[in-house]
Amino acid sequence: MTKRVAVVTGGSSGIGKEIAKHLKRNGMTVYALSRRVDKMNDLDDLGITTGYVDVADYDSVDQAIQNIYADAGRIDVLVNNAGFGSFGSLEEVDLKDGEYQFKVNVFGVMKMIQSVLPIMRKQGSGRIINMSSMAGKTGMPLGSWYVGSKYAIEGMSDSIRQELKEFGIDVVVIEPGAIESNWSSIAMNKLKAISSDGPYAGASRRLADFFELSYRYASKPMVIARMVDQAAFSANPKTRYTGGYGAKASLFLKRYLPDKAFDALMEQVRIMAQRMVNQEKSQRNQVDRNLETK
């Protein structure tokens, strides 16, 4: 029996790399794609085929899918994992940066889907797994471009799921919470570069401290990889899988609280996180001063 073939974008680190390993371990032929091919040598060692793609370069996407189809003769699963988070106040983020956020997180995803659909329709089967976020339903201050891109993934996935059903193609959304990766440090560095001074400085510090505290408890990437396994291998997959630190609790509260009540609650959580982080810093500084006086 022909092995099922999976394509994973953003395969050079974190969640994407773990997804590729899990799918391979569970019996699929896996192609991991990334701009940073040099970071995937360990995947090559496991028998995973690695290749280049820049999802913001549409010719690059077409070429990658053509190469995979020519090599494997089919594509059964597409995992759209590539993406990044750009943070900063809406007022201060340059529109070109906002456009690029959407080009990678939304248009790049849709281009990947467009490229595999003729293959999946011809097969009469396929599974498209789109990486969203708990932020794709909850929102957060100073993250409007990232949040907006994930809201778009949620809504477009719902629409695509309905239009592809007659072709035997399933569409699944994954909604991670806080996961160990370099995503948060990149996002917060961007936040500090854009909004650490000026009118949004206070909100910027609260959000940065909230992220610092939250990501101490971040889940391992394998949590998301296992959800992708369920989405990829289940005979009747759910439309959404949610997991990782904070995700289920946040989505539960968002579902049942009025919007303004949810906003107020999350602001209080950020204030509490900032107090805790500041208290820890103060204690460390006191310890350092005590050591200096000895």
Mean pLDDT, residues 91-111 taken together: 97
The mean-pLDDT minimum among 93-97, 104-108, 276-280 falls in 276-280
Given this model, what pLDDT does residue 294 score? 63
Whether 236 and 29 have beta carbons less than 8 Å apart is answered as: no
Q: Which domain, by its residues, includes 57? A: 5-182+219-258
Q: How far is 241 from 288, CA to CA, in rounded Å?
A: 45
User: Does residue 114 belong to any structural domain of this protein?
Assistant: yes
User: Does residue 169 belong to any structural domain of this protein?
Assistant: yes
Burial of 2 (0-12, 13-18, 19+ CB in 10 A): exposed
pLDDT class for 184, splitting at 50, 70, 90? confident
User: Does residue 168 belong to any structural domain of this protein?
Assistant: yes
Other C-beta atoms within 10 Å of 97: how many? 14
For 44, 46, 115, 287, the CA distances from 32, given in Å and listed in that order, are 9, 12, 16, 47
The overall average pLDDT reported for the chain is: 94
Question: What size, in residues, is the chain?
Answer: 294
User: Does residue 82 belong to any structural domain of this protein?
Assistant: yes
User: Does residue 203 belong to any structural domain of this protein?
Assistant: no
User: Does residue 268 belong to any structural domain of this protein?
Assistant: no
What is the total count of domains within the chain? Answer: 1
User: Does residue 199 belong to any structural domain of this protein?
Assistant: no
User: Does residue 210 belong to any structural domain of this protein?
Assistant: no
Question: Which pLDDT tens digit goes with each residue over 159-174?
Answer: 999 999 999 999 999 9
Instruction: Please tell me whether the overall predicted TM-score, pTM, comes out greater than 0.85 for this model.
Output: yes
Give the catalytic positions in this structure: 146
Whether 180 and 220 have beta carbons less than 8 Å apart is answered as: yes
Percent of the chain with pLDDT over 90: 87
Would the pLDDT of 1 be above 60?
no
165's tokens: 């059903």
Would the pLDDT of 153 be above 90?
yes
Query: Could you tell me the CATH number of the domain that includes residue 246?
Result: 3.40.50.720
Whether 145 and 211 have beta carbons less than 8 Å apart is answered as: no
